[in-house]
Structure 1
Amino acid sequence: MGAIVGFIAGLISFHASIVPTGYIQYGMFRLAAFILQESLNKWMFLSIVVVSFVAFLVELRIRIKDRRMLKVFWLSFVSILFFFLSTWALRRYWLPEKSLLMNILIHAEMFLLAIILGRVLMKMKWKTSPRLLRIRHTRKPGLVLIVFLLLLNLGIIIDRRINSPTGSNIVLIIVDTLRADHVGCYGYSRNTTPSIDRLSLNSILFKNAISAAPWTTPSIGSMFTSQYPAVLGFRDKPIIIDQRFLTLTEIFKENNYVTKGIISHAHVSSALGFDQGFDSYDEENAKGHGHISSPSITEKAIRFLRTCKNRKFFLFLHYFDPHFDYILHEDYDYYPDYNGPLYSSQPIRELREKAPQMTADDARYIKALYDSEISFTDEHMGVVLDELKNLGLYDNTLIILTADHGEEFLERGDYWIGHTKKLYQEQIHVPLIMKLPGHNEQEIMHEYLGLINLMPTIVDYAGLWIPGEYRCEGQTIDMSDIEELGNKTIFSQTRRWTSLQSVTWKGWKLIYNPIVKSRQLFDLQKDPAESRNLARENDKALNAMEVVLQKWNSQIRSKKTQAEEPDFAEEQKRHLRSLGYLQ
């Protein structure tokens, strides 16, 4: 009976899970089989256990003749159930997840339950099996369904062995808040990134990569789906990525890759749908802006690499430490002589409040803290790269290193520190380095390139394909066709505290505010700092860029998604409001 109930519940769960994804429409039947396997395994096991336990309790009620003993049993059972639920609630909502006290209590109560049940069983004389398990006409169908489940699991195991992927391993590293001009191989004066610089020596170095948005969730969401933030449904808040958008990871899981994500902030959490396609998604380091996460991210990555070195894998690492709050690391103190009022780990709210009174020395100190964070992160990323070499994986692994956005430090005269609300280069110009398998020389690409092209490019270089029914906004980066690469238009946007769109094309950049109809036109080749607005001086370039932007707006208008906002806990909401992520 339990198997039948579980099978029906599993099918209902499978239907509810598969419909939003579009896997059947995209022909991704292996992913559909994984969902079916997970649904049936969970619900059939749970139903068999529950039905068996209910039958056990009913049989006890029938067989126990002593009323006093029966009262003791039910009292004990209710007490244990109460203790279990209450300690679970304490552990889930009030005490840390790894509380030693809670672990001791839970193990103690389970031990107590075993003693009580054992005592009851010792007082009884069993002659037949529980009656509820002997319901007519359910045994054979139940056995058939159990055999079906076993065959489904066996088939998936055999498929993974027979159809194991033959492409390269993939390591995607995204460093949060890393602006390109603070990286050594991008011309920075400080030696902030020796590990990244070494990686670039046998990689393709894209000098002018542009992110789709100046804040984390829409930028990484765009990278993983090859869709513009507006198409995904982003406005001014984090949203849940709609399951109908295929992610980069789902492509690799469909092709039997082991997929692992290790992240360090809630803005790329499973609550927002970023775990789509991952076998395992580690969010343990998503502990807020004051948490130093790089050592743990690296440790977890090394553990995964050593475990899966003989299998094909897709590994996503998200390093968060360069993001504010800016923390000084002693080994990387780039301004030891500073004696001003600012300090390490100072909350971003205080820095912004003090910004109008800051001196050039204060601004220099903030950048020094930021660079300290970058160097600290670079050190730990270097350990991962070294481990790839030690395991013999480095040469045959596709390694991609990039960032979601940059950071502004009072460059624009409006006392802004941080990101999210502008589209100048300091916020959207990010590093992009791709080490191809077997590639041992450095190639430098100066053409402007949008990170929305990352998903199809990674899939293509891995020798895989994206279903034709799924329409990417980006295209594969073809390094053999430099002229075509230079003709690509790049769009970025933000609606945080403002509404801005930008288009970059052939070295020109237009920033447009559709609310106040303002236009800023820059020649990035002659003016990379965007200090001179040419909107009133070059009508020809302005008109051409406006036509490109208008055409893009008309194309994406019909594709926009009505996105669902996540249900953050109250504590998370307060924290995000304090940082300006929620209103």
Structure 2
Amino acid sequence: MRGKSFFSRRMWIVACALLVLVGAGGLRWYWKSPRPNIILVTFDTTRADHLGAYGYEQGLTTAFDDFAKRGVLFEQAYAPAPITLPSHTTMLTGLYPPEHGLRVNGAGALASEIPLLPEILQEHGYQTGAFIAAAPVLGAQFGLNRGFDNYDDAPAKMLSRTRSYGVARRDGEEVVDLALEWLGLRTAEPFFCWIHLYDAHGPYDPFTEVYQDRFANKPYDAGVAWEVQQFDRVNEFLKENGLESNTLVVVAGDHGEGLDDHGEYEHGMLVYNTTVHVPFAFAGPQFVKPGTRVREVVSLVDIMPTLLDVLEIPAPERMSGRSLLPALKGESIESQDCYAESEMPYYMNRWCPPRTVISEQWKYIQSTRPELYNLEEDPEELNNLFDTVGEEANRLQALLTNMLESFQRTQAGEVDLSEQDVANLRSLGYVAGGTSSEEDAVVTTDQSLIDVKDMVPFVSKFEEAKHIVAEGHQEEAMVLLQEIADATEDYPEADLRLGDLLADAGRHEEAVTVYRSVLARRPDFVSAYFKLGGVLATQGKFEEVEANFREFIKANPDDPAGHLELANVLGRLGKYEEAISEFREALRLAPDSVAANVYLGHLLARLQRPKEAVGYLEKAIEVDPRNVAAHENLMMVLAQTGQPAKGIQIGLRAITLNPKSFETRFNLGLMLVQNQQYADGIHQLREAQKIRPDDPRPTQQIRQIEAALRKGSR
């Protein structure tokens, strides 16, 4: 009996121990919450000092201000560039612009070897979605779509109000609608959602139907208010769906806006705090200490390392940012010197590109005429101390030099822009010269370069002209641009835009004169050659087009675009072998050029050399599976090379891509009939007939086929 009691007691003790162990394991599991969801909301063109949380009293930003009180607000956060694409790329890579290679809008794609935050999160089980308000500057073609299950950069579909935006951009209401729809479909896995809001970007809308006359004289503040109002809907969604406690929400401005401070009305040219001091706040899970305000200097380059640290995911070896997790927990951190730059002055006009290093007290701006500001005593940066505080100026000069030398630079990849992409970028003022100072090995202290500060009055007039064009008043805009041209020879971007407007108005000779004037002064402005070539082609002056591009190639022998344009005009002039040679040179320099492969394939097909054409057209489809012209041409050359079945499959794909193509349906119909697929062939011919009712060919073919079928059945 005693033995049994002892045995039972031993078993009970063991059972209790097991329960304790199981319980302890259960408690550990219970308290170790799953990785939080993450929402990144970026306020485009939003100055920190126009939000209530930063002391502004004339706006309507209560939702953001309350959000900041629930979390951590960084008082001195800086963007790496006063422009959208470089700044967002920094947020998603943890690298400064010279390191990731995207220095301006619309001029390159992110190199594939650079890790992106959404890619890393996707690899760790996150569902990823992005909802973009302005595809012209953040479209998938620039490479930020990598790692997103859904990268929604489609054109605006909902226009709840009429605005003179000038470019295709989404209202914040539409962007948030799409984001909330996607969030509502998420499963139990964690998600990462990026929401980009663009409503504060010019041209400004006072939103009178929403705010009446409150912002009639301050329309920029209306855009900020509307962004914040849409952001509030995201917060409400999280609260209503029980996601607030396990979702880390990050809000960051990508850059600010000049608003005439320092003479700059918009952004992109200067690096004062008006355009690089941005709102930056976190709120969400328990580790984010509510009500924390961090005075120390931080940068948007810190976003990616912070989020990876929060999630306990190893960070890429190469990152310039640091984790701000201690600050989120309410712990102290040190200020870190921040880098920022603007390549736009050089890219657009070959002016000196300002670069800056910002510390807690000091800000040094490197340019033709350097600047030094004591931010504690002079936050508006009005008193340049460069010549009076030599020791500090020398220290920061050396610091900036060391920063620039330490960056591991990456060259941006080629980006294939459609005509509409180029038009949209032009309307925003982001299409001009075409190379960065890094590519041209420019030293930013070179005294021969114009200081952008000296050109600011002309920049404001240029921006005014840009908005007038968006409102449809081209003649008025040409008057302003002509005033700039008359006042200075050092603003080629304005000259080129004047030439564009003249060309659009049919004033071709005047446009040619403007473009030739730019090239006479600035032969390094490669885009002027292409603009000039386009106008000359419109006039039918193909010999002059040929001469233009031969001159360009002489100066730029390794530019594939020049060889491509020369090849096209040689084809127009009937110099086919020379054209083929230039196409092949373009492809030697850029093997993945879709345009060169398509055009060469088309030319070879025209010259009855279909076997040679096949490879080029197949390459075009390999690079761009949705290229309609490549499919249409390949369908025909496959038929010519005795591969009708394969040609039919390519033709069906072409119709899927472009159902309204008369020629594709007509030719496919004939191919199907020749392949004895009579019903399908007649169907395609009837569809072609619907597209172009006045063209007699489909009707004639259908009658002949049906007659032949009736005759054969007898």
Q: Give the TM-score normalised by structure 2.
A: 0.51
% identity of equivalent residues: 29
Q: CA deviation at 1:482?
A: 9.3
AA of the residue aligned to 1:568: L
Deviations 1:548-567 (A, max 9, x none): 101011112xx222222422
Q: Is the partner of 2:261 in helix, strand or coil?
A: coil
Partner of 1:203 in structure 2?
71
Q: CA deviation at 1:191?
A: 3.8
AA of the residue aligned to 1:505: S
Q: CA deviation at 1:275?
A: 0.5
Number of residues of Structure 1 aligned to a counterpart in Structure 2 = 383
Partner of 1:446 in structure 2?
295
AA of the residue aligned to 1:479: P
Where does structure 2 lack aligned partners over 5 or more consecutive residues? 1-32, 158-165, 347-352, 433-714
Q: CA deviation at 1:285?
A: 4.4
Distance in 1 of aligned mates of 2:130 and 2:266: 26
AA of the residue aligned to 2:111: D
Partner of 1:373 in structure 2?
223
Q: Does 1:322 align with 2:200?
A: yes
Partner of 1:477 in structure 2?
324
AA of the residue aligned to 2:58: R
Distance 1:445 1:289, change over 3 A: farther
AA of the residue aligned to 1:476: S
Equivalence map 1:279-290=2 (5 Å): 279-285=149-155, 289=167
Question: Aligned to 1:535, which of 386, 406, 414?
Answer: 386
Q: Is the 8 A contact 2:155 2:168 kept in 1?
A: no
Partner of 2:375 in structure 1?
524
Q: CA deviation at 1:315?
A: 0.7
Deviations 1:86-118 (A, max 9, x none): xxxxxxxxxxxxxxxxxxxxxxxxxxxxxxxxx
Q: CA deviation at 1:307?
A: 1.2
Partner of 1:295 in structure 2?
173
Distance in 2 of aligned mates of 1:337 and 1:213: 28
Q: CA deviation at 1:177?
A: 0.5
Distance in 1 of aligned mates of 2:294 and 2:142: 34
Deviations 1:49-100 (A, max 9, x none): xxxxxxxxxxxxxxxxxxxxxxxxxxxxxxxxxxxxxxxxxxxxxxxxxxxx
Q: Does 1:391 align with 2:241?
A: yes
Deviations 1:155-198 (A, max 9, x none): xxxxxxxxxx9310000000111110011111101242111111
Q: Is the partner of 2:248 in helix, strand or coil?
A: strand
AA of the residue aligned to 2:318: R
Distance in 2 of aligned mates of 1:419 and 1:569: 25
Partner of 2:254 in structure 1?
404
Q: Is the partner of 1:206 in helix, strand or coil?
A: strand
Distance 1:236 1:336, change over 3 A: closer
Distance in 1 of aligned mates of 2:335 and 2:280: 19
Deviations 1:400-425 (A, max 9, x none): 00111000111113xx3211111000
Q: Is the partner of 2:282 in helix, strand or coil?
A: strand
AA of the residue aligned to 1:250: E
Partner of 1:142 in structure 2?
none
Distance in 2 of aligned mates of 1:387 and 1:478: 25
AA of the residue aligned to 2:278: V
Q: CA deviation at 1:526?
A: 1.1
Distance 1:412 1:275, change over 3 A: same
Equivalence map 1:436-515=2 (5 Å): 436-438=284-286, 439=288, 441-467=290-316, 470-479=317-326, 485-498=333-346, 499-513=353-367
Q: CA deviation at 1:331?
A: 5.2
Q: CA deviation at 1:571?
A: 2.5
Distance in 1 of aligned mates of 2:36 and 2:382: 43
Equivalence map 1:306-321=2 (5 Å): 306-308=184-186, 310-321=188-199
Q: Is the 8 A contact 2:257 2:275 kept in 1?
A: yes
Partner of 1:169 in structure 2?
37
Deviations 1:525-579 (A, max 9, x none): 11110011011111111111111101011112xx222222422111221232232
Q: Is the partner of 1:417 in helix, strand or coil?
A: coil
Deviations 1:457-489 (A, max 9, x none): 01111232224xx31111112535999843411
Deviations 1:420-474 (A, max 9, x none): 111000100000001141246210001111110110001111232224xx31111
Deviates more, 1:219-228 or 1:485-494: 485-494
Distance in 2 of aligned mates of 1:537 and 1:483: 37
Bigger relative contact order (CA 8 A; separation at least 6): 1
Q: Is the 8 A contact 1:263 1:286 kept in 2?
A: no
Q: Is the partner of 2:345 in helix, strand or coil?
A: coil
Q: CA deviation at 1:235?
A: 4.2
Q: Is the 8 A contact 1:332 1:372 kept in 2?
A: no
AA of the residue aligned to 2:319: C
Q: Does 1:184 align with 2:34?
A: no
Q: Is the 8 A contact 1:203 1:434 kept in 2?
A: yes
Which of 1 and 2 has greater Rg?
2
Partner of 2:80 in structure 1?
212
Q: CA deviation at 1:223?
A: 1.0
Q: Which has the larger helix fraction?
A: 2
Distance in 2 of aligned mates of 1:426 and 1:216: 15
Partner of 2:282 in structure 1?
434
Q: Is the 8 A contact 1:236 1:497 kept in 2?
A: no
Partner of 2:122 in structure 1?
253
Partner of 1:354 in structure 2?
none
Distance in 2 of aligned mates of 1:444 and 1:532: 28
Partner of 2:140 in structure 1?
270
Equivalence map 1:9-24=2 (5 Å): none
Deviations 1:463-516 (A, max 9, x none): 32224xx31111112535999843411000111024110001132100111xx2
Q: Is the 8 A contact 1:332 1:375 kept in 2?
A: no
Q: Is the 8 A contact 1:250 1:276 kept in 2?
A: yes
Q: CA deviation at 1:234?
A: 3.3
Distance in 2 of aligned mates of 1:374 and 1:319: 10
Partner of 1:419 in structure 2?
267
Distance 1:482 1:405, change over 3 A: same
Distance in 1 of aligned mates of 2:89 and 2:63: 26
Q: Is the partner of 1:201 in helix, strand or coil?
A: helix
Q: Is the 8 A contact 2:74 2:295 kept in 1?
A: yes
Q: Is the 8 A contact 2:168 2:424 kept in 1?
A: no
Partner of 1:136 in structure 2?
none
Distance 1:306 1:194, change over 3 A: same
Equivalence map 1:122-201=2 (5 Å): 166-201=34-69
Q: Is the 8 A contact 1:289 1:325 kept in 2?
A: no
Distance in 2 of aligned mates of 1:482 and 1:440: 6
Distance in 1 of aligned mates of 2:248 and 2:240: 16
Deviations 1:333-368 (A, max 9, x none): 485696xxxxxxxxxxxxxxxxxxxxxxxxxx3xx1
Q: Give the TM-score normalised by structure 1.
A: 0.63
